[in-house]
Structure 1
Amino acid sequence: MGVLWFGLLLLHLSWVEAYPSGAPTGACEDMMPRHMGVEPQTSPPPYALLTNTRVYGPGSTVTVTIVGPEYRGVLLEARAPGGLSALGTWWLPPPDTRFLECSGNPQGAVTHSNTNIKGNATVFSWTPPDAVGPVYFMATVAQQRTVYWLNLRSAALFRAPASGLGLSSGTEGVAPGGTLLSAALCWLLCKTLL
């Protein structure tokens, strides 16, 4: 009888630790999915976080896409360099995802709502807070329960000057040479005008 109870307890713990309906709020700061007995991958991630712009302004919407192989689990946040708090507000979570309360914000992060496959067509929408400087997006992406990459980062986004100069559209990060040039120009423009 004791062996049966022990087996049921282990089965319950492995189910709870898998979090098939999304990351727990305890993962907001360290981005760890808490998959019992499973460590993050140490190989280079096959994913990239791409945004539709490198400059944002008050009330603007930034879209984020996780590009790479299909995946089942995700935790996605916006952060300030060196910070652990989730910034801004996520809007209209795509299918098979949901909001996760982080840093006291009910829409501070997005996570998976089930283990259905997500992919390059899954686009996340984020609105920045009123007063913030450079930000980047951070994600943990799980291809499956036992295969995940921790702390993937996007390129930095910079706040547009009050005049609105520098706002751009189109996907940044797609053409490697153009991305570096536009990032450098954006950095110079934002630094001199702020």
Structure 2
Amino acid sequence: MLNLHRAEFIRSAVKMDDCPHDGLPQIVFAGKSNVGKSSVINRLLNRKNFARVGGQPGKTVHINFFMIDERAYFVDLPGYGYAKVSKAEKQRWGELIEEYFADAGITMGFQIVDIRHKPTAEDKVMTDWFLGTGVPFTVIANKLDKIKKSEREASLRLIRQTLMLPEEVAVVPFSAEKGDGRDEVLEKILTQVGE
């Protein structure tokens, strides 16, 4: 069983040379700047402030690597789509992420979207990158606690249609706040990393 209590921050990579190349599984988390990526990682690990939660969207400008139980990495990609970032910075992120996707040997991916909103064009680009790798990936529809139960099905359907997800890609309703969806996501991670 993967011991989630044994989690440590390893490094922030600004370029591909900084990324670990030790063959351990890399579980990647991607999402827009304000979608609650760090909160999702914190909830999965049941740690309060493990992955920094930025008060300001767009804080994660590097690829952050967290070692889990010395058996796998959680990889926190820079958030995308934050308007107040310079063009040059956006381009730098884009190139870094593109290079990472081409080269990193990703084991599986999680794309985090906000269940309350229709995914954006940038979300769609990220989905296409994941699909292009051929690795298993799942969409986490975060902020479930912010919508009514009656809205859930329609929201999930809209996410699936907008991102044009193939049937095998699951959309997991998730609440970083309350923990809904945590077990389902962990199960997917364990099938890749092994018990």
TM-score, normalization: structure 2? 0.27
The structure with more strand, counted as a fraction of residues: 1
The structure with more helix, counted as a fraction of residues: 2
Larger gyration radius, structure 1 or structure 2: 1
TM-score, normalization: structure 1? 0.27
